[in-house]
Amino acid sequence: MNKSAIKNFAIWARRKLISDITYKAGLLGITDKGIKDPLVQSTKEVQFFDIGTKEPYQITRKDIEKRAKLVNYIKEKEEQSDYSLAYKTVIEEVAYTWFNRLIAIRFMEVNEYLPSKIRVLSSQSKTKLEPDIVTMPFDTDLEYTDQEKTKILSLINENKQEELFKKLFIKQCNALNTVLPALFEKTTDFTELLLNISFTDREGLVYHLVNDIEEEDFKEAVEIIGWMYQYYNTEPKDEVFALLKNNVKITKENIPAVTQLFTPDWIVRYMVENSLGRIWVEGHPNEDLKSNWKYYLEEAEQEDHVKQELEKIRKEYEKLRPEDIKVIDPCMGSAHILVYGFDVLLQIYETQGYTKRDAAKLIIENNLYGLDIDDRAYQLAYFAVMMKGRQYDRRFLNREITPNLHSIKESNMVIKDHLKYFGTP
C-alpha cells in the first residue's frame, strides 16, 4: 500500500473540497462574513445573487428550497456558538460527507461491490476517460423515471457529459441509501447543492482519486479507508496543536481531529489475538487456529494456585459459542480493530463448522460493537464493517443487516437503558 500517495491525496482532497464548497456557497450569498439576502428582483420561482459579475448568479425551484435548508442549518449551529464557527463547521461537514462517499464508491467499484457492477468514477478500460456509468447509464440497476430518461438522453445528445456525470453520480449515491443508509443518506438536501464534481478536470477530485492511488491499494484491504481518514485530518490536527501552544483550549468540535489515530496493524493484531483469540482457544484448544496468529503469546508459567484459578476460568470459556462473544471498541475510529476482530471471529466460526457466508452475518449481528464521538469516523467504520460482510457474501448488502455501531457526540442524553444494553448493572 502506497501510504505516501494516500496521504498526499487525502490532505489535498480536503483542501480542494473545502475550496470548491466555499466557492459554491459564495455564489448563493453565503460566506464567512454572513448570509446575504437574494437580490430584490428575485421571486418565489427564481432567486438572484450578486457575485460581482455583470450577470447575477441565479437558482430556481428545488435549489431555492435547498438553499433555505442550508441557511437554516447554519443558523441552528450559530445558536450554539457564533456565526464564524457555525459557517466553518457546516463547510467541513459537507466536505467530509462527499469525501466519505467518494472513497466509498471508489472502493466498491474497484472491488466490484456496486450492485450494478458498472463503474461510477472510472472505466474498466484503462484507455477510456469517461466513467462507464456515463457511457452506459441504462446498463445499471438504477431506476429512472420517464422524465429522468428523457433528461439523460437529452444530455447525451447535447454531449453534456459533465452534467450527466453529476446527475448519475448523485443518482447512484441515492440508490446506495437502500443498502448503506448510514453513509449514503438521501442527497436532496443542501449537500447536493454544494457539490462540485467533474471527471474531465485534471485538477478535480475524481481525476486525482482515480489516477493518484493504485487500484491494487483499494483491493488490498478495507484498511485503506482508515488511512484515508487519518490523513484527511492531518491539517486540522496540526492547527489544533498549534493553538494549544498558544494556550487556546480544544473545543468539542476539534476533539475528533486531534484524537483520531489509525492504530498500526501489528498493534491491532496483538490486541485482538491476545484478548478475543485467547478467550476462545483457552476454552476450545486449537493449535491450527493459533498458528494463524503471529502475535499470540502463550500463557507464562504460573504458580499452582494461579493455575487452579485459570482452570476454573477455562471451564467457563468451554461453554462459549462463537455467537456469545462480544467485542466492543468504545473509541472505534474507522474500525481497524473491529475489522481484524471480524477476521479472527471468522476463523473461530469456521472451526465450528459455519460457512463464511453464514459466519459473516452472525459476526456483524452478534459479535461486533463500536462507539465514537465523531460522525465521520462512524460513517467509515460502518462502511468498513459492511464491506467485510460483503467480502464473504455477495448478497450481504441486500440482507438489511445493521451493524451495532453508534456515534454519540454528547453524553448528556445517554440514559441508563443505553448503558444496561452494554452490560452495565
Instruction: Please name the residues in contact with 262: beta carbons below 8 A apart, sequence gap of 6 or more.
Output: 226, 227, 229, 230, 333, 334, 336
Nearest CA to 182 among 69, 94, 100?
Answer: 100
Question: In the listed set 258, 287, 302, which residue is the last one of a domain according to the structure?
Answer: 258
- 413: pLDDT confidence band, cut at 50, 70 and 90? low
194 and 320 within one domain = no
Whether pLDDT at 280 is above 60: yes
187 and 207 within one domain = yes
378 and 395 within one domain = yes
Question: In the listed set 226, 258, 290, which residue is the last one of a domain according to the structure?
Answer: 258
Chain segment 22-80, per-residue pLDDT in tens: 999 999 999 999 999 999 999 999 999 999 888 999 999 899 999 999 999 999 999 98
Contact 240, 254 (CB under 8 A): yes
410 and 305 within one domain = yes
Mean predicted confidence (pLDDT) in 6-13: 95
Alpha-carbon span 412 to 405, nearest angstrom: 19
Whether pLDDT at 255 is above 90: no
What pTM did the predictor assign?
Answer: 0.87
- The predicted pLDDT at position 19 comes to 96
- The predicted pLDDT at position 220 comes to 73
Alpha-carbon span 199 to 355, nearest angstrom: 41
- 310: pLDDT confidence band, cut at 50, 70 and 90? confident
176 vs 418, residue with greater confidence = 176
Percentage of the chain beyond pLDDT 70 is 93
222 and 73 within one domain = yes
Task: Choose from 85-99, 188-202, 229-243 the range with maximum mean pLDDT.
Answer: 85-99
Mean predicted confidence (pLDDT) in 88-106: 93
355 and 213 within one domain = no
289 and 229 within one domain = no
- 5: pLDDT confidence band, cut at 50, 70 and 90? very high
Domain range holding 308?
265-421
Checking 51-59 for CB contacts under 8 A at 24+ apart, the result is 51/26, 51/27, 57/27, 57/28, 59/28
Contact 67, 184 (CB under 8 A): no
The domain total for the chain is 2
Question: In the listed set 216, 232, 258, which residue is the last one of a domain according to the structure?
Answer: 258
Whether pLDDT at 223 is above 80: yes
234 and 86 within one domain = yes
Mean predicted confidence (pLDDT) in 267-283: 93
Chain segment 125-154, per-residue pLDDT in tens: 988 999 999 999 999 889 999 999 999 999
Angle between helices 336-351 and 223-232 (to 10 degrees): 170
Chain segment 354-406, per-residue pLDDT in tens: 999 999 999 999 999 999 988 888 999 999 999 999 999 999 999 989 999 99
Alpha-carbon span 57 to 42, nearest angstrom: 11
302 and 174 within one domain = no
104 and 69 within one domain = yes
Task: Choose from 150-159, 175-184, 400-409 the range with maximum mean pLDDT.
Answer: 150-159
307 and 236 within one domain = no
Among 114-123, 267-276, 301-310, 318-327, the least confident range: 301-310
342 and 249 within one domain = no
